[in-house]
Amino acid sequence: MKPSLQLKLGQQLTMTPQLQQAIRLLQLSTLDLQAEIQEALESNPMLEISEGEDGAQDTEASSDVSEPSDPEFNSAKESTETNLQELNTPETSPDNNQSNEMDSDWNNDIPDDLPVDTNWDDIYTSGPASSGSGSDEDRDYERGDSTGESLQEHLLWQLNLTPMSDRDRVIALSIIDDIEPSGMLGNPIGDIAEGLNQEQEMLEDPVELDEVLAVLHRIQQFDPVGVAGQDLAECLLIQLRTLPTTTPFLDAAKLIVKDHLALLGNRDYKQLMRRCKLKEAELAEVIGLIQTLNPRPGEQIAQADTEYVVPDVFVSKKQDRWLVELNPDIAPKIRINAGYASLVKRADTSPDNNFMRDHLQEARWFLKSLQSRNETLLKVASCIVEKQMGFFESGPEAMRPMVLHDIAEEVGMHESTISRVTTQKYMHTPRGIFELKYFFSSHVSTDAGGECSSTAIRAIIKKLVAAENPKKPLSDSKITTLLEEQGIQVARRTIAKYRESLGIAASNERKRLI
């Protein structure tokens, strides 16, 4: 092949490190952003947390800090500042005299010699000081509430307090290991006995099925009530047996749970009334008693850690106007350390000066990326509130159909940017906390030629189901007819899809007794 030269024209997008960092910070959630800021504080000595009013960043002070005269740095700095406001640094630099006085006072507090029988930890506490003004009792309470024991640990604790032979204790340990987090027994007792017989080292004689069943009955007396049930019926029966004998309709409840639980699950109330010889009002009392039981007793002990949503934006109404504000507590306030920044020299090319100059440049880019993220988030949230004013005034039924393209055109950004801003970002409103994605929905045509949001249709379905007759719940076809009367054309299968997304059961499963 003969080498040749060719001239081609093309377009290529080159993402600078600053742009890559800004995009990455834009799509982070609140927790991820806090972790990113903490990592930046630990890796960059030029960054520090600003505290109180003295931590307010000032543009004029930032310009007073000497900057390196690197052409590459200056050009990158100018390109980054195009659409962002200059982030500030404190006006004052550390006072050397004050720091020397503090050092001398601290040195005077240190004794020359420690007593022979004194440990260092007795005089000076090690480890970082805890932040916050809470008392020790509050911290212990929070710590104990966040780390709870598992169901197996709770059962083993009770087993250690129960007098039992060594043989029965081995069987009990095997049973406890087989209990699921819900509190139900995972395998039949026959499989447990077979597994124990295979462990010849721990048991000399083969285990009989009656032995396992006897130990199981003892474990079923442990807390929580209903644990180690072989099935749902036995779990509920254990709980019913612990109730006082004077409880109304206790015998009828035991009969239904033991022999007619399938009919109760299918809501076949006519068969239940006929077989149990109960009237409608009496059956309603029995069902109410059964509903007080816990079908998953193990979850009382092995509770999952509660996760709280921290809103990124606050929306409130003041003087007939809706205001949008960023949550000031979602991330620590950081700034550039003016003392370190003042040490950077313009014409110095030493490794130490280059090190400080590079970290100063990274710190400024990081602060500008944070500022860009906050500005974009506030701009998008304000646009959402403006377009969904009906939701904030009247509720979900007034939600307008809206897609990412609508907001992108309004704020002059790409749809991918809007998608990053609205993912895992939450808005606190007088009607609750919602993810920004919640306000985007498809549309359904109406008879009047307009459009209705799918979120509004879900709200209407939820309202219709809440107001239905419990004896005659609304079917999907009936809900479709009711929506058509309001001018909304929706297929029955669409109603079923919306109903399932709301967690609403079918009409035959929603039937109730009065």
490: its two tokens: 């929706």
Indicate the angle between helix axes 351-387 and 404-411, nearest 10 degrees.
120
Contact 436, 321 (CB under 8 A): no
* pTM > 0.75: no
Considering the domain 443-509 in this protein, what is its CATH number?
1.10.10.60
DSSP class per residue in 280-293: HHHHHHHHHHHHTS
Q: Which of 157, 76, 147, 163 is nearest to 362 (CA)?
A: 76
d(CA 236, CA 255): 11
Residue corresponding to tokens 């370190």: 340
Predicted confidence pLDDT, tens digits, the chain (514 residues):
678 888 888 877 667 777 788 888 888 888 888 889 999 999 999 999 887 544 444 433 333 333 444 444 444 444 434 333 333 333 334 444 444 444 444 344 434 444 444 443 443 333 333 333 344 444 444 444 444 678 999 999 999 999 999 889 989 999 999 999 999 999 888 888 888 887 655 566 788 889 999 999 999 999 999 999 999 999 999 999 999 999 999 999 999 999 999 999 888 888 999 999 999 889 999 999 999 999 999 988 866 566 778 899 999 999 889 999 999 888 778 899 988 888 888 777 788 888 888 999 999 999 999 999 999 999 999 999 999 999 999 888 888 889 999 999 999 988 988 999 999 899 999 999 999 999 998 877 676 667 788 888 999 999 999 998 888 889 999 999 998 888 888 889 989 999 998 889 888 888 776 5
The per-residue pLDDT for 448 is 65
Sequence-distant (≥ 6) Cβ neighbours of residue 45 within 8 angstroms: 337, 340, 356, 359
Q: 373 φ, ψ to 5°?
A: -65, -45
Contact 289, 242 (CB under 8 A): no
Beta strands in 430-510 (DSSP E): 432-435, 443-445, 451-453
Contact 71, 65 (CB under 8 A): no
Cα separations in angstroms, 411 against 84, 177, 199, 374, 407: 16, 58, 70, 14, 6
The per-residue pLDDT for 367 is 92
The per-residue pLDDT for 75 is 45
Q: What DSSP designation does 299 have?
A: G
CA dihedral sign, ordered 95, 101, 104, 110:
negative
Contact 170, 201 (CB under 8 A): no
Give domain limits for the chain.
151-300, 443-509
d(CA 312, CA 339): 32
